Structure 1
Amino acid sequence: MSAQTARIAVVTGANKGIGREITRQLAERGHVVYLGARDAERGRATESELRADGLDVRFLHLDVTDEKSAELAARRLTEEAGLLHVLVNNAGVGGPMLPPSRTPAHQVRTVYETNVFGVVTVTNALLPLLHRAPSARIVNVSSAIGSLAAAAANLDPTGVHPPGEFPVMLSYATSKAALNAVTLTYANELRGTGILVNAASPGFVATDINGHHGTLTTEQGARIPVLLATLGDDGPTATFLGEDGTPQGQALQW
């Protein structure tokens, strides 16, 4: 399928983990997927691996914390594809496993640079291309740990953490709460444009962020982001959906 007839997708942080699997699953569904990665060597290696499986995956140099990098990525996409149907803001970093009172502010800023400001940077750079598509999807990869309702109740809706032991990771948890707010603001701005904007919680997936202690595979973790990335035109916007093993996923509270 050519880039002229296929749906075009960008996945950030896609050279490994959940991002790599989202890339694979979208490509298997016929998308031309631009594999966003800041490390060129790793990005190209992952591109080669996925292309060896017959998938149309193309490495896209993209550092989400660098506005110039995002601008150059948008320029390349404009030249090669002319429009964009799917943006999955997957790139993310973890933070120190420390109580809030012992977490230095500079470490919080570092996490926000990728998890929050990086999403704004990439989304704004690529939004003109998304507007060119007859219908487009933005998926922000969040976490149930970012739910303010769950934090206030001190109850993990996924059941990973026992009742009364909701995680108190200042940098990571609040960055995902901020990302959820970012998701809603874009969703509200873009209502009626054909661009649906939603947040996905992949679940407790074994990745580098948690030292591969997660209980789900990357294949399982990619399911909800891919589901939201491939919504029909009657699909929802401004929703927060998590992985619970059911076909429709778990509706999470913001």
Structure 2
Amino acid sequence: MNLARGVALVAFDGRSGALRGGERLDLALAGAELVSLARAERIAVQRGRVIILDETPVGSTQLDVALATLRPFSEPHLLSPWLHRRALGLRGRYLGDLHEAGEVEPRGRRRFGLFGDRRSQLTATSSRRDLLLQLDSDAPADPTFAALVHLAAITRKDLRRRLAATVGNLDAEGGDRITGAAKAERVALFATRDAARRVREPQSSSDYPLDPDVQRAWDLGRSVDNGL
């Protein structure tokens, strides 16, 4: 699974038809690609450098591009510089990826009866709703994914506080006894965290409103969970 596509889906804003978020989102997407490649056992991380274990394509367009950029010219890529290079313009590429996957599509209508509306609308509403409901939990099913969403700074303030606790728990666990793909995943996540911390967060990034349909689904799901 390409975790970056999940992050992009959470970041999609139905009002603007784009991915909300700035440089932090770009970095989180790049970090999510590294985590996904580590889980697919395509890469390892040794002494701050990314080592390719297997060049076989994963089958996801953007992940395969990321894997190709990691092929060393003379020596393995340093993790942090690669994150910043890969992050440039990445949110635009993932918006295109969502279009190709059919998860968003053009609105196909005219505004004010005169001008074509070039914005996009979400078609994968249930997929996004499921992701949001998974994130809105004291124990997210995938803590690493939750941490990446938090680093992207694309959710509401109340959810961001909850996700911050998830990042703190991962930090507290440390990584001394983790090996293999899990070790590479954790190193990639923390490198993304360190890069994101150096980026000034947009003032309103932590308080984005949700699409009305998704908000209703979220509220309904929480009511059912609480037995209301």
Q: TM-score, normalised by structure 1?
A: 0.25
**Larger helix percent:** 2
**Larger strand percent:** 1
Instruction: Name the structure, 1 or 2, with higher relative contact order (CA <8 Å, separation 6+).
Output: 2
Larger Cα Rg: Structure 1 or Structure 2?
2
